Structure 1
Amino acid sequence: MKNNRNKQTAKQDFSRREMIKKSSLFIAATPFLSLSSCVSASKKAFDADVIVIGAGLSGLNAALLLEESGFSVKIVEATDRLGGRVHTAKESDVPGHPELGANGIGGGYARLLNAAQKYGVGIGPYRPRTEPRNGEILYAVKGNFILPEDWEGHKANPHPEGYRKGSPTSPPWSIYSKLNPLPKNDLVAWRNKEYTKWDKSVYEVLKEEGFSDEAIKLGVSTNSSYGVDAKNISVLMYFQILNFLTQQSQFNGQGGAAVGGNQRIPEAMGAAFKQDILMSSPVKSVASEADGVDIILEDDKKLRARYALITLPASALRRISVSPTPTQQKAFKELPYTPCCQIHFVPTKKYWEEDGLPPSMWCDTLAGRFMALKNDPNDPDKVTSCVAYLNSSVAVQVDNMNRETAIQTVTKTLEDMRPSLNGALKFVHYWTWIDNPYAGGAYAYWKPGQITEFADGIAAPNGRIHFAGEHTATISRGMEGAMESGERAAFEILNLL
């Protein structure tokens, strides 16, 4: 309730400022009063009221809110594109331009969907990437090809009785659902102290429920969407994810994907922003002073603002000289990011027709989740490309190879597993989030104890420096979490300007 009251107060303050701004504009328009005559000499030294570091969804959302309230804002972006971890492959790189970063837009992603509508980006159907279409998946486990209908009774299925149905990764979710202590409609409860006893490892919880090490490895540590090992993931995080997914399920039939790729949304937001965006400008240091914030770029260019908003992932913050609180310092140093790399191919023949098996495979090998993507809206049954989507330890293992070796190794793994793939895959694109200095992985996850230790303090303002980003969101996850965090930080700063 306290968070809701704070947010409501911030919005009321924002409305009052809008009224004041309109009055000020009227005064400034009179022929006898120059706006600059109302500005102090010290303010003239500022490059902007607020400098936003990072042009992902959180930074762009915050910058637009601040700009709409009449303040001068400058965005600083380290790379040569907008969107951060929202990144759509170019059509020239991969046919069907699949998402290299954030993929699905949930029906309850209100902020993101509103932004798409406001800035003229169409929303089309959801584009499956790591979740295959019905009837198009094959499980490749322990050298066996297993159809979903045969998985429950198959000898390669290591899950205990009562949990053998579904996919190789679904049984742990049954446990999360059974044990989840969080109120179903409360998306902030995971931060409450009464649930800290659940800030323990998934491994510990599953062992207590009768899962073997083999079952845990297959269900959580193989092709996992979060983390690397069940011993290093907090089950409390999964409880919050489950609540968020339950909330999103109320909007079935809504959401989907941006027409032309999800990166079109941040690009449209950037185009709507009327002030400066400094591209290819990595930040070296950020220092909060009594009367402003000093920012030095890697090319030694100096910027100054009344306030700064840092929206970078914690992994990228490790590269920047900034003086966080002790809690933040620990969080920025230790918060982990899910390893992810992708190897994209174009099929040169219909291998699935050759062997009569489904085109996509969930593998317990270096092939990861090998998915046949169908991204041509004019021909929805056409396989436009295939991707070996690697998470968990296999992503780390492959990413540690040089690129040529990685491509050759994964390709050979696929061909050895499935003879119909011999000569069927033309490599077209390699992408990794792991060694990306401005990402460090696909998205943040929480290790046991970390939610208790620093979830509440990670986004706390430090002097004139404020923080946002998907990892600081309280209610939402993914792209909507990034939008939420940017909104929250914008209101924080608006209450101070």
Structure 2
Amino acid sequence: MNRREFLGQAALAAASLSACSSLNARTTPDSPVARARTPKKVIVIGAGLAGLGAGYELTQAGHDVAILEARARPGGRVHTIREPFSDGLHAEAGALFIPNNHHLTLKYTNLFGLPVEPSPPPAATGLFYVRGRRIVATRGVNVEWPFDLTPDEAKLGLSGMWEKYVSAGLDGLGDVTAPGWPSDPRLEALDRMSASEFLRSRGASAGAVALLGVGYLDFIGDGIDSYSALLMLRRLALRRTEALRFAIRGGTDLLPRAFATRLAPQIRYQSSVVRIEPGETSASVVVRQGDRLQRLTADHVVCTLPFSVLAHVDVAPPFSPQKARAVDLLPYTSVARVYLQFKRKAWAAGNLTVTATTDLPTKWVFEHTANQPGPRGILEAQAIGREGQRVTQMAESERILFALSQVERIFPGIRADFERGVSKSWDEDPWARGAFAYCRPGQMRSLLPHLARPEGRVHFAGEHTSPWSGWMQGALDSGLRAAREITDSA
């Protein structure tokens, strides 16, 4: 794809964004929280997007809000890395994109005047590195994949197999964003299956399952064998109306920073909650700031902590057995991300960007600098699941050298242009303990009903409590829901 084609796509994307904004103004799910008839005192635990969104909407509704954040910065897992890169370049350690159908996220970027631009559209060719082979797949042209496919599967090609084995299974799910979903007992069988078992149940050969698992389907949990087929189908159903993706110009962290600027007097940084005390008429928290412990009480508490972190917080009286079980059992995907800066974009070769999917330990290689000026470029090599845990155990210098060796298999000779690198592992972040939540087989129906359910005056928000798990939309959607719960109860 040449630059003229890209600019044409960008113009179409801008028109689409304008249309999305107009549509959003007419819809009700993303509308502001109603003004509170009886303002309440509310403590929000966490200044990630869920906490910031809840705090902003509660403040706008007239409530007295205090936000407690353990880190020294806002944003949580929305985090932009600027050091040690040259020329003002940056890369995203957390959220990357805003799909065009994530209307709530786009609403807030528009509200705060943050410029968004289309992420470079997919090139006409896809880059793969599988079974030791570098494969450039041209759209509409069949590829001889190094997998043991049936003759029919080889004829279908990758896109045809995806349609037959995956997309055709999306019918019959119902409204995956509806409260109480998945209550339909007919979905229980899908929840009991892993994603790979689902593909096999639809007739996919072992080779087809392995090929389809390269890329998106292997980016959750410990891979395609580890998570619920119903989770996979819900995530894909939410992408059905996705046509474009946007990025916030200057870095995704500009969104939480915009929230934090407006909420500055209400945010207490480096304040970690060590105890939550639910109640029927009020709720309290014990917060540590330095060597000092303080007990705070409010009419309501909004807890946005990932359950991987909440599991290490004292709760007394304890949550209900169902909630406690959900907190203990909800798993999180391990992700280690290594960023490599090069003095030139030798990989471009006429294309504007690169995304490579692989069966290497670093499953995804992605360029972060396609929309950033200058000759230098940044590639990310991302390790997920068990490989992410293995990379996390490495020292920083080992991670960088390991990632460079992986990228060099895809782009031979690129080491000569390497300048510096840095990494981020969400497992070793004490306030995340994982990148995003997922559900193992059987957990969609057993855990999902209890993730967002309030416990007395304690409400819950965060991507793990929303249908849009793993996205900024999920965090913001959950914060808005929690704010409505409190205002409606008032």
Give the whole-Å Cα distance in 2 for the aligned partners of 1:449 and 1:422.
45
The answer to whether the 8 A contact 1:360-1:371 is kept is yes
2:229 aligned with 1:230, yes or no?
A: no
Aligned twin of 2:257: 267
Deviation at 1:287, TM superposition (A): 0.7
| Counterpart residue type for residue 306 of structure 2 | P
- Which whole-Å CA distance do the structure 2 matches of 1:475 and 1:370 have between them? 24
Q: Considering only aligned residues, what root-mean-square deviation do their CA atoms show, in Å?
A: 3.3
Report SS of the residue matched to 1:309.
strand
Q: What CA distance in whole angstroms lies between the structure 2 residues aligned with 1:434 and 1:17? A: 39
- One-letter amino acid of the counterpart of residue 149, structure 1: T
Unaligned runs of 5+ in 1: 1-6, 22-47
Residue 248 (1) aligns with residue 242 (2): yes
SS at match of 2:57: helix
Q: Which moved more, 1:269-278 or 1:174-183?
A: 174-183
Deviations 1:358-381 (A, max 9, x none): 9653322234322334344456xx
CA positional deviation for 1:295: 0.9
Q: How many residues align?
A: 452
Asked whether 1:257 is paired with 2:247, we answer yes
Indicate whether 1:89 and 2:81 are aligned: yes
**Is 1:105 the equivalent of 2:98?**
yes
- For residue 111 of structure 1, give the secondary structure of its aligned residue in structure 2: helix
1:343 matched to which residue of 2? 338
If you compute each CA radius of gyration, which structure gives the higher value, 1 or 2? Answer: 1
Q: Aligned residue for 2:196?
A: 203
- Higher mean Cα deviation, 415-424 or 258-267? 415-424
**1:370 corresponds to which of 356, 365, 369:** 365
* Residue in structure 2 matched with residue 328 of structure 1 by the alignment: 323
* Aligned equivalent of 1:191, options 177, 182, 188: 182
Cα pair distance change 1:228/1:107, threshold 3 Å = same
| Distance across 2 between alignment mates of 1:108 and 1:355 | 30
Q: Give a deviation string over 1:392-428, Cα, whole Å, max 9, x none.
A: 3322222222332222223234345653123232232
Q: What are the Cα deviations for residues 220-269 of structure 1, in whole angstroms up to 9, with x where unaligned?
A: 276722121322211111221122111334xx5xx612221111111111
1:49 aligned partner:
41
TM-score when normalising by structure 1 = 0.81
Which of 8, 12, 36 is the equivalent residue of 1:17?
A: 36
Separation in structure 1 between the aligned mates of residue 241 and residue 215 of structure 2, nearest angstrom: 27
* Counterpart-to-counterpart distance in 1, 2:262 and 2:368: 32
What is the CA–CA distance in structure 1 between the aligned matches of 2:458 and 2:261, rounded to whole Å? 26
Shift of 1:297: 1.8
1:69-468 matches, within 5 Å, as 69-90=61-82, 92-93=84-85, 96-126=89-119, 133-135=122-124, 137-149=126-138, 152-164=142-154, 171-172=161-162, 174-182=164-172, 187-188=177-178, 190-194=181-185, 195-199=187-191, 200-220=193-213, 224-249=218-243, 252=244, 256-273=246-263, 275-298=265-288, 299-322=292-315, 323-349=318-344, 351-352=346-347, 361-378=356-373, 382=375, 384-415=377-408, 418-468=411-461
Task: State whether residues 30 and 103 of structure 2, in contact with CA within 8 Å, keep that contact through their aligned partners in structure 1.
Answer: no
- Give 1:383 shift: 5.4
Contact 1:469–1:485 (CA under 8 A) maintained in structure 2: yes
Structure 1: which amino acid aligns with 2:364? Answer: R
Matched residues in 2 for 1:475 and 1:96: separation?
Answer: 29
The corresponding residue for 1:480 is 473
Superimposed CA distance per residue, residues 447-484 of structure 1 (whole angstroms, 9 cap, x where no aligned partner): 11111102011111111111111111146761111111
8 Å contact kept, 2:102–2:473: yes
CA drift at 1:310: 0.1
Aligned residue identity for 1:106: P
Q: Percent identity?
A: 26
Please give the alpha-carbon distance, in whole angstroms, between the structure 2 residues aligned to 1:201 and 1:271. 43
Deviation at 1:100, TM superposition (A): 1.2
CA deviations on 1:289-317 (whole Å, 9 max, x unpaired) are 35422211234222221211101111111
User: What amino acid maps onto 1:17 in structure 2?
Assistant: A
Q: 1:371 to 1:491 in 2, by over 3 A?
A: closer
State the one-letter code of the partner of 2:226.
N
- Structure 1 residue 92: Cα displacement: 4.6
Q: Which amino acid aligns with 1:449?
A: G
Offset, 1:344: 0.9
Displacement of 1:142: 1.6
After superposing on structure 2, the runs of 4+ consecutive aligned residues of structure 1 that deviate more than 6 Å are: 7-12, 165-170, 353-356
Show the 5 A alignment for 1:55-74.
55-74=47-66
Q: Deviations over 1:194-218 (max 9, x none)?
A: 3222112112112223434454344
Report if the CA contact (8 A) 1:86-1:102 is conserved. yes
